[in-house]
Amino acid sequence: MMKYRKGLADRPAYDVTERPWKIKVNANECNMNLPPLVEERVMGRLSRVAFNRYPNEEYDALAEQIARNFSLGKENVLLGSGSSEIIEKLFYCFGGSKDSKIVYPRPSFSMYGIYASAAEAEGVPVDLEDDYTLDAELFVKTVRESKANLAVICNPNNPTGTGIPRQAVEYIAENIDCAFLVDEAYIEFYGQSAAGLLKKYPHLIIARTFSKAYALASCRVGYMLAGEGIVSMVGRAYMPYHMNVLSLATADIVYQMRHEYIPRIQMMVAERKRMAEKLKKLDGFTVYPSETNFLLVKYARAKELNESLVRQGIGIRSFGDAPGLENCLRISMGLREENDIWLNAIRMFTEGRD
Ligand SMILES: Cc1ncc(COP(=O)(O)O)c(C=O)c1O
């Protein structure tokens, strides 16, 4: 008899299986590979990797480089296998019993609820308003009343795209005293980072990723910025040498050359604006304001529309009956020509011509 740990069988499996999509706009990835200049430098760097050694220097080099950019020290940076690992470990560190409450908005990144139960903590969702904005006062009240160990916001929020203005983030930081994680996976498309508040609020933690704006989802690299005490405690939850040298060396070059990404980020934002305008003109579509590289839309026949797109090899994200996301679809921005194709497929569907 297999004696698995309690609760494991109830944990949903995150389905990452993919079809061979003709157009893949379902995971908020960047639809372009590395900029050619960056790729060339990465390839040169990888040819000099010491495959026989555990990754020490490479970890430090990247952590130092990130720290410098934020006028912080290396002791304020923790790297992870994607920001997923950072978030999962934070939930673990602030979880541990049913009395450990972790507060997060709903709808938001679906993994928060899963990580909370995996950490044996109790997840406490705070429902967003009908327009998906966060009521910061309600959030603060919930954090205080639940005596939470950890409060989490996602800014801008996945899957709604909504940005939370810096003043609202600061209002939350000012009014709660538990650990406060701001998940900034899409911040490069928004700009209003809370990183500048780190020195003022010692309970503030920021998680970032290389997977989205930096087109490095394959390498699984993310990082956390926080006070030295938090980094040192949370660091205990990781296994030794948890990052591999190939990802570290690649991310190091990408970060050195991050200015190369500015035109692409601007292009993705421009595409998002262009597509939002076009979608708004379609009959029956609600398009939510987005500060990210994706758009969330509501449409009464979302399920059938998604099925039609799947038949045509176009992969977007459908949320089924997830709370607060009924009839919603999320579409990441692809290349301009890809965007024109999925838009045309949607238009044909709405006109009964699919
Ligand atoms: C809000 C948010 N946080 C974190 C992640 C995890 O990203 P990664 O583990 O690739 O860094 C994602 C990925 O989709 C996300 O949407």
Report which ligand 1 atom has the smallest distance to the Cα of 87: 4
CATH number assigned to the domain covering 16-32+261-350: 3.90.1150.10
Between the CA of 84 and the centroid of ligand 1 the distance, in Å, is 6
Between the CA of 155 and the centroid of ligand 1 the distance, in Å, is 11
- Which residue from 109, 162, 187, 317 has its CB within 8 A of the most atoms of ligand 1, so it is best to mutate? 109
Kindly state the DSSP code that residue 269 receives in the 8-state scheme.
H
Cα–Cα dist 44/64, whole Å: 21
- Protein residues with CB under 6 Å of any ligand 1 atom: 28, 82-84, 109, 154, 158, 183, 185, 209, 211, 217, 222
- Which residue from 14, 84, 212 has its CB within 8 A of the most atoms of ligand 1, so it is best to mutate? 84
- Which helix or strand (DSSP H or E) is residue 129 part of? none
Scored b (16 or more CB within 10 A) or e, 232-269 reads eebeeebeeebbbbbbbbbbbbbbebbebbeebbeebb
> Which pLDDT does position 12 carry in this prediction?
83
pLDDT in tens, 323-354: 999 999 999 999 999 999 999 999 999 998 87
Between the CA of 334 and the centroid of ligand 1 the distance, in Å, is 18
> Which pLDDT does position 7 carry in this prediction?
84
- State the average pLDDT over residues 229-239: 97
Identify the residue whose C-alpha is closest to ligand 1 atom 15: 185
14 confidence band (pLDDT: 50, 70, 90): confident
pLDDT in tens, 54-109: 999 999 999 999 999 999 999 999 999 999 999 999 999 999 998 999 999 999 99
Cα–Cα dist 76/72, whole Å: 6
- State the average pLDDT over residues 240-252: 97
CATH number assigned to the domain covering 36-256: 3.40.640.10
Percent of the chain with pLDDT over 70: 100
Q: At what angle do helices 166-175 and 136-145 cross, to 10 degrees?
A: 20
Report which ligand 1 atom has the smallest distance to the Cα of 85: 9
- Which residue from 16, 26, 29, 83 has its CB within 8 A of the most atoms of ligand 1, so it is best to mutate? 83
Cα–Cα dist 304/43, whole Å: 44
pLDDT in tens, 282-320: 999 999 999 999 999 999 999 999 999 999 999 999 998
Domain residue ranges of the chain, discontinuous segments joined by +: 16-32+261-350, 36-256
Between the CA of 202 and the centroid of ligand 1 the distance, in Å, is 24
Report which ligand 1 atom has the smallest distance to the Cα of 212: 10
Order the strands of the 101-106 sheet from edge to edge.
77-80, 222-225, 204-209, 179-183, 150-154, 101-106, 122-127
Identify the residue whose C-alpha is closest to ligand 1 atom 12: 185
More confident site: 14 or 273: 273
Between the CA of 209 and the centroid of ligand 1 the distance, in Å, is 7
189's tokens: 């498309």
* Contact (CB, 8 A) for 46 and 219: no
Report which ligand 1 atom has the smallest distance to the Cα of 211: 10
Identify the residue whose C-alpha is closest to ligand 1 atom 3: 185
If you average pLDDT over every residue of the chain, what do you get?
96
Between the CA of 228 and the centroid of ligand 1 the distance, in Å, is 24
Cα–Cα dist 338/330, whole Å: 15
| pLDDT above 80: residue 15 | no
